[in-house]
Amino acid sequence: HWHLGDRQHAEQEARALAPAVAGQTDADDRAAGHARLAALLARFGDAEASARHQVLAQAALDEFQAFQAALADRLAQVDAALGD
């Protein structure tokens, strides 16, 4: 809708998607969704909502990076146990 010039409908849809983004199981999906919402809301001129989604995006990214680090550590332990 944004590209078609229907800013109001695009903004309504973006705001309606927030609960779906927040409900994503995978942290990387939440991070990407919140980052996209933050960008859209900034374009709509809602700096406060954009900032909230930026914080949520960063928190989800931090969570995902911690998951990746833990997974890499566990895989290294498995490799070591198997003797490379």
Segment 70-79, tens digit of pLDDT: 999 999 999 9
pLDDT, greater one: 47 or 2: 47
Residue-level pLDDT at 14: 84
Distances (CA, A) of 1 to 4, 27, 29, 54, 81: 5, 27, 22, 22, 54
Residue-level pLDDT at 13: 85
Share of the chain above pLDDT 70, in %: 92
Burial class (CB in 10 A: 0-12, 13-18, 19+), 25: exposed
Mean pLDDT score of the chain, rounded to an integer? Answer: 90
Task: Tell me the C-alpha distance between 74 and 79, whole Å.
Answer: 9
pLDDT band at 49, cuts 50/70/90?
A: very high
